Amino acid sequence: MLTVVDHPLAGHLLASLRDRDTGPARFRALARQLTVSLILEATRDLPTRPRVVATPLEQTEGREISAGLVAVPILRAGLGMLDAVTDAFPDVGVGYVGLERDERTLRPRTYYEKLPPLEGKHALLLDPMLATGGSAVAATRSIAAGRPESLRMVCVVAAPEGVRAMEEAHPEVPIFTAALDRELNERGYILPGIGDFGDRLYGTGPGSA
Ligand code: PRP
Ligand code: URA
């Protein structure tokens, strides 16, 4: 199931992320801010339990999150979303999946994987770009092997091709995104898209210093 988070703030931040004149420092800040609004939506149904608290005036019943949470960013670009998650959920466990798309075949190649125990945990897969879906499908396969209680994917922009690939391979994984874009170009880039998210995040694109 795809959820497009269409909050005005998310739209505002996304427009600046798309802007080709946004440099790496601002790009990183925007990615982090936008991720906050996405994870709020993605974690809406996390289990909580009652917690009695004493306010300065009286005792009342509050809630606390009872779920064990694990975030898994896909390297590199998913790292741009991680700080937002660790800020919001300081006790979150973090695993990493390193995947790189072959520029010619567009197939992902795994070069690193370190996942904490996932059984009974609620997992959040973080990757800003869901393009062909190859990377997300491969990372989901790795995470699902650890038998988490639930798994959801959070991305910044999704292409219809990537959403289809995920729905075919892992229909049980809900996807949360700030935008569903039009299509992929012949090089597998999302249109209108953001460009190469990892390069923009770390200033490693063509012509960068
Ligand atoms: C980008 C992006 C995704 C992947 C999406 O990573 O961050 O992981 O492409 O494409 P897909 O849906 O077609 O698999 P990239 O391979 O460019 O590596 P990077 O993050 O290290 O730059
Ligand atoms: N990866 C990116 O960084 N951008 C795209 O548009 C597609 C894949």
Q: How far is the CA of 13 from the centre of ligand 1 (A)?
A: 21
For ligand 1, atom 3, the nearest C-alpha belongs to 129
Q: How far is the CA of 185 from the centre of ligand 2 (A)?
A: 10
Beta strand extents in the chain (DSSP E only): 2-4, 48-54, 59-65, 69-75, 93-94, 96-101, 108-114, 122-126, 129-130, 150-154, 157-158, 175-177, 179-180, 183-184, 190-191
Q: Is 73 in the pocket of ligand 1 (CB under 6 A)?
A: no
Residues 26-42: tens digit of each pLDDT:
999 999 999 999 999 99
- pLDDT band of residue 139 (cuts 50, 70, 90) is very high
Residue 88, pLDDT score: 96
Instruction: List, as own/partner pairs, every contact residues 17-26 make where C-beta atoms lie below 8 angstroms and the sequence separation is at least 24, other chains included.
Output: 17/156, 17/194, 18/192, 18/193, 18/194, 20/195, 22/200, 23/203, 24/200, 24/201, 24/202, 24/203
Inform me whether the pLDDT recorded for 145 exceeds 90.
Answer: yes
Question: 103 and 121 in contact (C-beta within 8 Å)?
Answer: no
pLDDT band for 209, please (50, 70, 90 cuts): low
DSSP annotation string for 139-198: HHHHHHHT--SEEEEE-SEE-HHHHHHHHHH-TT--EEESEE-SEE-TTS-EES--S-HH
CB 108 within 8 A of CB 100: yes
The verdict on pTM exceeding 0.85 is yes
**Ligand 2 pocket test target in 187, 194, 202 with most atoms within 8 Å of CB:** 194
Q: How confident is the model at residue 67 (pLDDT cuts 50, 70, 90)?
A: confident
**Mean local confidence (pLDDT), 68-75:** 97
Q: Please indicate whether residue 89, judged by its CB atom, sits closer than 6 Å to ligand 1.
A: no
Q: In angstroms, what is the span from residue 197 Cα to ligand 1's centroid?
A: 8
DSSP 67: S
**Ligand 2 atom closest to Cα of 199?**
3
